Chains A and B, each alone.
Chain A
Amino acid sequence: MSDTTTDPVGSRATGAPDARTRRIPASRSKPKKNLFAGVLLAPTLIGMGIFTIVPIIGSLVLAFFRWDIISRPEFVGLANFADIALDPTVRVSFLNTIVFVVIAVTLQLGIALVLASMIQERLPDWLRVFFRSTFFFPLVLSAASVSIFMGYLFNEQFGVVNWLIGLVGLAPVPWLTTPAGAAAVVIIVYVWQNFGFSFLLFVGGLGNIPKEVYEAAELDGASGFKKFINVTMPLLSPTTLVASVMAVITALQVFDQPYVLTRGGPGDSTRSAVMVVFESAFEQLEFGRASAIGLVLMLLIMAVTYVQFQLSRRFVFYQ
């Protein structure tokens, strides 16, 4: 006779387990949980597969072909890579991009950190909210629209910026028509539009630093600057790492601002790596070459990010 027939407790006598004490064997619950998680993740995974993974694989394959969209792709081996290695425009565009990243990211993080520190100090809440919104606002604008607008502002003959410069008796600056001026405008517009994101990260990071640490530093006689160097910077280093990694990855892909403001000119002075990818693919119909350049850029981004994380072991402190 089975246990169920001898169990004196009603529900168990029929073999139905008590709902409150029901235990599902681990081997049965795991697949169900996995299925549930899979259902929830499926849309994202499918989207990533279709719109990210497949294009990446397609681009990797395409880098070894010559293809103009219309004709059949022709396998050319490493010819696209040899071609871009010899192309001075590609070399200059990568050099421009690296110089741009160094200057723009330094400015972006520097300005964001200074402003975040300033609004963290002795400001009423409503003013903090105002500044957060104001500094973040450019990020939600279309980069193309902003660049068109900025193009008018920086026009050499009729722009407001040169008009203001003229008010103090200085000669008009050829902003968009000289290599240095054009590069400066691209950096200014890019940093203005993007520093808000780093700024918000720093505001969050600063808010997480315990006040007791500052109080202890003050008891030890630390001044404002020393507190910033010895307390704020080390404790903000995880945030700085995140902000710098994201800023570098984004800046390495700069396209909109130089494309709209200067079309990469004068000469190649503001041509970025992504611009060369775009021009190769959609203007010169060399999709294989564009894929090869894109692949090199992806490797560069991965290498830079790897170096940043390696360096972070030395400079990042976790509480």
Chain B
Amino acid sequence: MKQQTGGLTATNLTRRGLLTLGGLGLAGVTIGSWPRLTGSDIPGRHADGLTIAILGNSADAEGRRGLAEEFHREFPEIKIHIQAIQGADWKDFFAKILTMVAAGNPPDIVYVATEGAQLFADKLAEPLDHFIRRDAEELREYFDDVHPSLVEAYMYQGSLFQLPIDWNAADMYLNTSTLQEAGMDRPADDWTQDDFTEMLRAMKKSQGPGFTPFYWTNRLFGGIVPWLYNNDTSFLTERKAPGGDWLWDGFYPDDPARSTRGGGFIWDGSNALDERVFESFDYMRELVAEGLGVRPEGGGGTSLVGLFSSGRVGATPAGGYWAQGLHEAGMAEDGFDVQFFPKNRTQRHQFGTAGYAIMRTTENKDAAWEWVKFAARRESMEMAMPSPTTTPTRRSMVNESFYAQTGPKNWQVFYETLDRFPTSAPIPAPPEQAAVENALIKNVTNAVSGSSRQTRSALASLDRDLNLVLRSGR
């Protein structure tokens, strides 16, 4: 006879006992996962110190840990939490930051690129003017080392919102072996758009099928905008806000382009129907029609590194960040070179830059400013950028040793882009940048894929879309 012991066994487990066990189990799981359920395991949440949001993954956050530790050694009372937020692009990253703001959990500092500079300045970021005026002597060395065009990209309505840390211009990368096989040398610094077309024709002639002379992507950086800039136009109207003299007179009195500097760019209208815009689009359409360039594809161009390094692409616009990318893809340092964008009406270039913005909502703005200053020091930037994965904003860091392992031979082009073409401008990015970028991207492919008539029709569509976006945003 089976002895009842009073304990719970598989055979005598009652429904009530089962429910009790289940309840206990559920309670255990809930208690165990409480940090996850409440989000308190998210780095920086409900913690003391500064939370710094960057675009990237956990490896990127880990990469900046040394910088955070160095900061903590100097400012032991300020804790730093690097929060990496993944995103397909800057637009995606900014959308996630805004969601954090809406959720009542904004970071204290955000690494913001040109694409989001005016969005943050308009709605989220703290102007740095009073901090800069206060610590002017300490910062003089920084401004002496950084080109004013990069600083101007972060001016908004007369105030400065960020100190740029890294940047990239849309220069032209060239596959040197393809050039040689086409019987050509590296083009001259002042080469023209016609020279560019001839180079592509020669490349196409010398290569077999499966080769594309010019590859470009459908996005702001490296897309249609550099071709608009070198035609002295843009798809948006461009002017400068008043103000900013305190900065230019204080730090850049000898800037040759001083008279052109103002209180930041204003892009508040469509310029899509400008005849020069049509000219640039039509030129790209002709390249596509002649088989010299591809129809631009969406995306960030990750696959482009592979195509270029394997010799299937002859030329493409990219920034200094490509040096490390091509090196990692197995390209020898003399396998590629870089040159300025070809000249049309002008040789004005497009660039993008990035730096830390202090959120208005942060409770410790002084501590946040210490981080911004710290990150802009040369030794901090060297720690953050040990290899040319991007171009440092400090001129002194863009040197022979920085490109020694990767190339290109003419690395001086990267910084000289700003020196030689001081009217070069940032990516056109008003506070409504996301919608503006959508409007541009959505019409570019149509504009360069058919007849001239289709180009006009696509530009009319772009004009309509931009007007809708910019009107609703005001």
CB-based contact A267/B98 at 8 Å: no
Contact partners of B329 in chain A: CB under 8 A = none
- Binary interface encoding of chain B residues 29-73 relative to chain A, with 1 for a CB under 8 A from any of its CBs, else 0: 000000000000000000000000000000000000000000000
Contact partners of B445 in chain A: CB under 8 A = 177, 265-267
CB-based contact A267/B465 at 8 Å: no
Q: Nearest B residue to A87 by beta-carbon distance? A: B468
Closest Cβ–Cβ distance, residue B269 to chain A (whole Å): 18
Stretch of A153-161, A223-231, A296-304 that contacts chain B: A153-161
CB-based contact A177/B123 at 8 Å: no
By Cβ-Cβ distance, the 8 closest A-B pairs, closest first, are: A177-B295, A266-B445, A283-B434, A282-B95, A69-B102, A284-B435, A263-B298, A267-B446
CB-based contact A174/B438 at 8 Å: no
With an 8 A cutoff between CB atoms, is B292 at the interface?
A: no
How many residue pairs, one in A and one in B, have C-beta atoms under 8 Å apart? 82
Q: Which A residues between 280 and 295 are near B, CB-CB below 8 angstroms?
A: 282-286
With an 8 A cutoff between CB atoms, is A120 at the interface?
A: no
Please give the number of chain A residues whose Cβ is less than 8 angstroms from any Cβ of chain B in the complex: 31
Q: Nearest A residue to B299 by beta-carbon distance? A: A151
CB-based contact B438/A279 at 8 Å: yes
Contact partners of B218 in chain A: CB under 8 A = 265
> How distant is the Cα of A72 from the Cα of B287 in the complex, in angstroms?
49
CB-based contact A70/B449 at 8 Å: no
CB-based contact A284/B123 at 8 Å: no
Interface residues of A (CB under 8 A from B): 68-70, 87-89, 151-152, 155-158, 174, 176-179, 262-268, 271, 279, 282-286
Selected contact of A267 from candidates B102, B297, B458, CB within 8 Å: B458
CB-based contact B297/A176 at 8 Å: yes
Given contacts A70-B101, A264-B442, A267-B443, are A174 and B295 in contact (CB under 8 A)? yes
CB-based contact A70/B123 at 8 Å: yes
CB-based contact A263/B441 at 8 Å: yes
CB-based contact A156/B449 at 8 Å: no
CB-based contact A158/B95 at 8 Å: no
CB-based contact B449/A177 at 8 Å: yes
CB-based contact B441/A265 at 8 Å: yes
> How distant is the Cα of A156 from the Cα of B293 in the complex, in angstroms?
12
> How distant is the Cα of A88 from the Cα of B468 in the complex, in angstroms?
11
CB-based contact B295/A156 at 8 Å: yes
With an 8 A cutoff between CB atoms, is B294 at the interface?
A: yes
With an 8 A cutoff between CB atoms, is B12 at the interface?
A: no
Selected contact of B212 from candidates A68, A157, A279, CB within 8 Å: A157
Given contacts A155-B297, A279-B438, are A69 and B98 in contact (CB under 8 A)? yes
With an 8 A cutoff between CB atoms, is B305 at the interface?
A: no
Contact partners of A158 in chain B: CB under 8 A = 210, 303, 307, 312
> How distant is the Cα of A269 from the Cα of B124 in the complex, in angstroms?
34
Given contacts A176-B297, A283-B95, are A152 and B303 in contact (CB under 8 A)? yes
> How distant is the Cα of A265 from the Cα of B458 in the complex, in angstroms?
12
CB-based contact A283/B438 at 8 Å: yes
With an 8 A cutoff between CB atoms, is B129 at the interface?
A: no
> How distant is the Cα of A177 from the Cα of B95 in the complex, in angstroms?
27
Contact partners of A265 in chain B: CB under 8 A = 218, 298, 441-442, 445-446
Please give the number of chain B residues whose Cβ is less than 8 angstroms from any Cβ of chain A in the complex: 38
Contact partners of B441 in chain A: CB under 8 A = 263, 265
With an 8 A cutoff between CB atoms, is B432 at the interface?
A: yes
CB-based contact A267/B294 at 8 Å: no
Q: Nearest B residue to A271 by beta-carbon distance? A: B442
Task: Identify the interface centre among B91, B99, B297, B445: most chain A CB within 10 Å of its CB.
Answer: B445
Contact partners of A271 in chain B: CB under 8 A = 442
Since A265-B298, A283-B434 are in contact, a sample of 19 more A-B pairs with Cβ atoms closer than 8 Å, ordered by chain A residue number, is A69-B99, A70-B101, A70-B102, A70-B123, A87-B468, A151-B299, A156-B297, A157-B210, A157-B212, A157-B294, A174-B449, A177-B445, A267-B446, A267-B458, A271-B442, A279-B434, A279-B438, A283-B95, A283-B438
| 27 chain-A/chain-B pairs, Cβ below 8 angstroms | A69-B99, A69-B101, A70-B101, A70-B102, A87-B468, A88-B464, A155-B297, A155-B303, A157-B215, A157-B294, A158-B303, A177-B449, A263-B298, A266-B446, A266-B449, A267-B442, A267-B443, A267-B445, A267-B446, A271-B442, A279-B434, A279-B435, A283-B91, A283-B434, A284-B432, A284-B435, A284-B472
With an 8 A cutoff between CB atoms, is B461 at the interface?
A: yes
Contact partners of B443 in chain A: CB under 8 A = 267
Contact partners of B212 in chain A: CB under 8 A = 157
> How distant is the Cα of A283 from the Cα of B438 in the complex, in angstroms?
9
> How distant is the Cα of A70 from the Cα of B297 in the complex, in angstroms?
33
Task: Identify the interface centre among B312, B442, B461, B464: most chain A CB within 10 Å of its CB.
Answer: B442
Contact partners of B442 in chain A: CB under 8 A = 263-268, 271
Q: Nearest B residue to A266 by beta-carbon distance? A: B445
Q: Which B residues between 112 and 148 are near A, CB-CB below 8 angstroms?
A: 123-124
> How distant is the Cα of A299 from the Cα of B437 in the complex, in angstroms?
30
> How distant is the Cα of A1 from the Cα of B167 in the complex, in angstroms?
100
Contact partners of B303 in chain A: CB under 8 A = 152, 155, 158
CB-based contact A178/B449 at 8 Å: yes
> How distant is the Cα of A282 from the Cα of B434 in the complex, in angstroms?
9
Closest Cβ–Cβ distance, residue A255 to chain B (whole Å): 14
Task: Identify the interface centre among A69, A158, A176, A266: most chain B CB within 10 Å of its CB.
Answer: A266
Contact partners of A176 in chain B: CB under 8 A = 297-298
Task: Identify the interface centre among B95, B215, B464: most chain A CB within 10 Å of its CB.
Answer: B95
CB-based contact B297/A177 at 8 Å: yes
Given contacts A282-B95, A284-B432, are A267 and B298 in contact (CB under 8 A)? no
Closest Cβ–Cβ distance, residue B181 to chain A (whole Å): 19
